[in-house]
Amino acid sequence: MALWRAYQRALAAHPWKVQVLTAGSLMGLGDIISQQLVEKRGLREHQTGRTLTMVSLGCGFVGPVIGGWYKVLDRFIPGTTKVDALKKMLLDQGGFAPCFLGCFLPLVGTLNGLSAQENWAKLQRDYPDALITNYYLWPAVQLANFYLVPLHYRLAVVQCVAVIWNSYLSWKAHQF
């Protein structure tokens, strides 16, 4: 409980910084889970650079983009009724999620040194599966998030759920 209160105080004092650092930390955790539990690399084979890349993506891309998106979405559709939450979820999953994945996957590929041609081939191979998998998890999470969670906590809630999603994304993005 003390950790949660400290997080709330930090979030109140520095909302943008805390959201970005939370996203980066949880992206890194997702990669560690991917490498250790999914790929079973072991500590000796753990790719620290890959984890740091995912942390950087969380801080420099995921946190700012998703945090900014939630602000835009809340201005576009103010309110927290069930209908408002449904509208937000439909916009989020119908418009934002496909665009976000379409940017995230090639960004990881670029940071991993893929050529434009390799990146395009990887995107064509991985994007449909990633988007379909997205739809198994995120509509229900986002509906609850938009209905029950105040704006300044949404990114943190999503990133906590996303530890599993980030593990999947890291695994998917690093398959060559």
Instruction: Check whether 136 has a pLDDT greater than 80.
Output: yes
Are the beta carbons of 119 and 109 closer than 8 angstroms? Answer: yes
Mean pLDDT of 142-170: 84
Are the beta carbons of 122 and 105 closer than 8 angstroms? Answer: yes
Are the beta carbons of 167 and 130 closer than 8 angstroms? Answer: no
Q: In angstroms, rounded to a whole number, what is the distance separating the alpha carbons of residues 47 and 66?
A: 26
What residues does each domain of the chain span?
1-174
Residue bearing the bigger pLDDT, 4 or 81: 81
> What is the model's pTM?
0.85
Dihedral over alpha carbons 80, 82, 83, 84 (to 10 degrees)? 20
* Token reading at 151: 């704006």
pLDDT value, residue 176: 63
* Token reading at 134: 């997205």
